[in-house]
Amino acid sequence: MAAVEKLVEVVETEVVIEFKPGVKCRSDLHLRSLHPTAVVAFKVQTSAPHKFHVNPPNGVLPPLSSAVLQVILRPQPLPPPTFPRSPSDRFLIKASFSAAFDDADATHDTRLKVAYVGPFLLRHAASLGDTAAVRHLLRRQPSLLPRLPPADSAALLRSADPSLLPLLLDSGLHLPPSPSASPSHKPPVKEKPNGEAAAATATPRGWTAVHAAAAAGEYGELLRAIEEWGVDARDGEGRTALHVAAGRGHVRCARTLVERGAEKNARSGDGRTALYRAAGNGDAEMVAALLEMRADAGIATARGRTPLDVARDKGHLEVVEMLERGEMVMTASRRGDLRRLECLLKKRIGIHGHDQYGMTALHSAAIKGHRDIVSLLIEFGMDVECQDIEGHTPLHLAVEGGHLETVELLIDMGANINAKTKRGATPYLMATSMGYDAMSQLLLSRGATSSSCIASSSSSSTSRN
């Protein structure tokens, strides 16, 4: 039998059937004639006619026309012995200019294998602990888990082998709400597992319930898990729950973890921070949230790559702009470039950045005495009480710089006149120790207390300039 040029095109590369036991399962095949002038005949054959029915099993296609065939799997009481791919189930689509399909006619044949997919088979494979089958099923249906109804998600979690929990959650499975999640019920506080108990209850990857809830984006479950595990437990790769939440794009969970004390600049085993993961994913919303929470964009991985580096390499232009804009805001504030700064701030990104010393743009403007810059930054939402790593507020640094008008402005805009650094220094103590008499009088007249522990008032001022 001689083969001819391709006469029909089959859109699908395999017959994909969402399997359910005991019911008919259907799948569509789309055929398109490739011949511009002649009528093309087609016929569909199957290796298992006792299992499959095709409607229509044969027909003709006018020039450059299309047809939809329905493949029907008759009710099967048991799951296929192998899946997703079934080596024994195949289809052959024959195309010819003659509907007789005699052996003497030239035909073009298209062969298709069968793949069985769907929630039932995923649950079946997960219950067996068949990691390879689970991976293949999820690869064929990447949107399956995120779209599962809560009841099906709960059934999958109940039946799955515990070793598959990280894979399922990484692929989008949502944890169902706990029955005790009602507002009137407060779950009992449990003793935090440690040692052997922690190892027994965590998954083989080292995930705790906090990692799982962060991966699934389940806020209520996360709060309960934090009570049990805390916020900075590490998995086998050194990742905290914040790394997981950032990698999955769950902004609310990331904020909650940081608010509950999670180390926002924690590094995983390869040196990556949560910000690095978000930047690598091109997740602009998560990057903006982490920068607002004062994540350090300058921390590099073990290979010396920063979040900005990975965003540039992957072509995530919006993230690149965010990270670069933070540096530009700092530079404009330090230089007193009001016009440039206003242009940057109107884009609403970059205002919460800081350098390796914890210095924000407002700190830089205050120590330089750029009164208009200070006013503009506060107008755009900068926290007048933000602190560097030594606990200095912008008011401390305006005092250190000897800028009386800037000190007065910060007080007028709500700065805490008696704020203390980590060493206990207040703005008044700094002014008196540096011999700024007029500033000391101003601070006293505006409510500063002169009785406070004696402390080192100025530290490493050269590094801030």
Q: What is the mean pLDDT of the chain?
A: 83
Taking CA atoms, 242 is separated from 255, 278, 282, 292, 393, in Å, by 9, 11, 17, 15, 27
pLDDT band at 324; cut points 50, 70, 90: confident
Arch. (CATH architecture) of 355-464: Alpha Horseshoe (1.25)
Does the domain formed by 8-117 have CATH 1.10.3720.10?
A: no
Q: In this predicted model, what pLDDT tens digit does every residue of 150-162 receive, in sequence order?
A: 778 877 877 777 6
Query: How much is the average pLDDT of 49-64?
Result: 94
Q: How far apart are CA 216 and CA 268, in angstroms?
A: 20
Q: How far apart are CA 43 and CA 152, in angstroms?
A: 39
Q: How far apart are CA 280 and CA 311, in angstroms?
A: 5
Q: What is the pLDDT of residue 152?
A: 81
Between 431 and 159, name the one with better pLDDT: 431
Query: How much is the average pLDDT of 273-296?
Result: 90
Sketch the domain layout of the chain as residue ranges: 8-117, 355-464
Q: How far apart are CA 363 and CA 388, in angstroms?
A: 8
pTM above 0.95, yes or no: no
3-class state of residue 436 by DSSP: coil
